[in-house]
Amino acid sequence: MKSRDAALDGIRAIAALGVWLLHVGSNTGVMYREGMLAWMMSRLGIAVPIFFLLSGLLLYRPWARAVIENTPRPGPLRYLWRRALRVLPVYWLVTALALWAWSPFDWTGWLKWLLLAQNYFPDDPAPDGLYQMWTLPIEMSFYVLLPVLAWALHRVARSGNRPVRLLAGIAVLPLVSVATVVVARQFGAPQLALLLPYHLIYFACGMALAVLSVWIGHSRVVDSLAPHFLVLAGLLYALLSTELAGPRTLTLPTLPQSLWRVSLEAAIAVLLVAPFALASRPDALRNRVLGNPVCAYLGRISYSFFLWHAPVITLLLKLTGAQPFQADFASVTVISLVASLLLSVGSYHLIEVGALKLSGHRSAPAPPPGARAALPAAPAP
């Protein structure tokens, strides 16, 4: 079993905090004020493409290694069992509590949500406190599809230059996203944004990084360019935080705005993750910053934090009687952060750790000093 890469856990922690801050900003109305800072807060949804990319990178990597290095392929049933145990227990707990507290659903509504089928019924009302959960059916769809994609890519790469053929096969997947975006905007079908094909470009970028990480290992070129990648990611994020990528409200963007947004988000996610996936050097400043024990631990509990933060914000607003978009930003920020972290620590150690042990996951000992850190084997979604 591969040891965890602390820096990638740190990236996951930053992404989870980004989602939380986005929802604090939207619920308090800060996100809709004038100024560049408000616009940049409104684009913290970039965390979702980062999560999707990390899933593609970390979950496809064993299959990429099987093709390139002729190692055994993961067993699909064992893989799916581990994914279910990784995602469902804490999800069921948080979702059931929110549905019990705030939803008007009968048993069919409960069944849709507990089976992660809510995205396929876009006309149903969304329960309070669960507005962040739309990403999980997309993640689960990718988990189910990945063994099929890996099998097809394995057949494509049976001969010739295997890494190149794998990359060529993966390059088809972003085209599916582009086609889906075009259909969604041209034919007025915004519900397609709740399905995997719309977001497949992010998973594909992660899969391509997985191939490169196996093929070239530690890249000195990427290592030397890592600071430039991170600065460029920041510049592109500033560009994303403009009307070029669409409005801040729930108003639907135009087709050009949608295509720009998808492209910019994919580029930013790749530029952020590549320096750690392809040039994981423990002594580098970037690794010491994101891979410090605090960030790494926050990354490990980030899935629980992602699940808990929205119900916590919702409960806080209901208890205080705050009007929509008018709650106090400072108090909501502090209270929701502390409460979500405490709940996340509890659910991680009481539920997630036990589920991972049941799935057969074991953490490997840390690599010796100076060794290249391996990628995590079982990432959070």
pLDDT value of residue 4? 65
> Which pair of tokens denotes residue 359?
């799935």
CA angle 290, 291, 293 (to 5 degrees): 115
Beta carbons of 332 and 27 less than 8 angstroms apart: yes
341: nearest Cα among 316, 306, 315, 317: 306
Residue 371's pLDDT is 35
Nearest Cα neighbor of 183 from 258, 246, 123 is 258
pLDDT at 252: 86
pLDDT of residue 5: 82
Asked whether 274 and 213 are in contact (CB, 8 A), the reply is no
pLDDT at 373: 33
Q: What is the pLDDT of residues 69-90, one digit of tens each?
A: 999 999 999 999 999 999 999 9
pLDDT of res. 77: 94
What is the number of other CB atoms lying within 10 angstroms of the CB of residue 314?
A: 21
**CB-based contacts of 94: which residues, under 8 Å, 6+ apart?**
307, 308, 311, 347
150 φ, ψ (degrees, to nearest 5)? -65, -40
**Quick one: tokens of 316?**
């806080």
The tens-digit pLDDT sequence of the chain (381 residues) is: 345 688 999 999 999 999 999 999 999 999 999 899 999 999 999 999 999 999 999 999 999 999 999 999 999 999 999 999 999 999 999 999 999 999 989 999 999 999 999 999 999 988 999 999 999 999 999 999 999 999 999 999 988 899 999 999 999 999 999 999 999 999 999 999 999 999 999 999 999 999 999 999 888 999 999 999 999 999 999 999 999 999 987 788 999 999 999 999 999 999 999 999 998 788 888 888 999 999 999 999 999 999 999 999 999 999 999 888 889 999 999 999 999 999 999 999 999 999 888 876 654 333 333 333 333 333 344
Distance CA 228, CA 157 (A): 33
Whose CA is closest to 344, among 297, 311, 308?
308
Q: Which residues of 8-17 are buried (b: 16+ CB within 10 A; e: fewer)?
A: bbbbbbbbbb
Signed CA dihedral, 321, 326, 329, 333: sign only: positive
Q: Which amino acid is at 19?
A: V
Residue that is written with structure tokens 């019990």 in the block: 100
Q: For residue 357, what pLDDT is reported? A: 84
Rounded to the nearest 10 degrees, the angle between the axes of helix 135-156 and helix 162-170 is 140
Report how far residue 46's alpha carbon sits from residue 307's, in angstroms, rounded to the nearest whole number.
Answer: 17
Can you read off the two tokens belonging to residue 360?
Answer: 């057969």
Q: Residue 283: its pLDDT value, please?
A: 83
Using H for helix, E for strand and C for coil, what is the string for the chain?
CCCCCHHHHHHHHHHHHHHHHHHHHHHHCHHHCCCHHHHHHHCHHHHHHHHHHHHHHHHHHHHHHHHHHCCCCCCHHHHHHHHHHHHHHHHHHHHHHHHHHHCCCCHHHHHHHHCCCHHHCCCCCCCCCCHHHHHHHHHHHHHHHHHHHHHHHHHHCCCCCHHHHHHHHHCHHHHHHHHHHHHHHHCCCHHHHHCHHHHHHHHHHHHHHHHHHHHCCCCHHHHHHHHHHHHHHHHHHHHHCCHHHCCCCCCCCCHHHHHHHHHHHHHHHHHHHHHHHCCCCCCCHHHHHHCCHHHHHHHHCHHHHHHHHHHHHHHHHHHHCCCCCCCCHHHHHHHHHHHHHHHHHHHHHHHHHHHHHHCCCCCCCCCCCCCCCCCCCCCCC
**pLDDT tens digit string along 104-114?**
899 999 999 99
Q: Are 216 and 278 in contact (CB under 8 A)?
A: yes
Q: What pLDDT is attached to residue 361?
A: 61
Cα distance between residue 213 and residue 278, in whole Å: 5
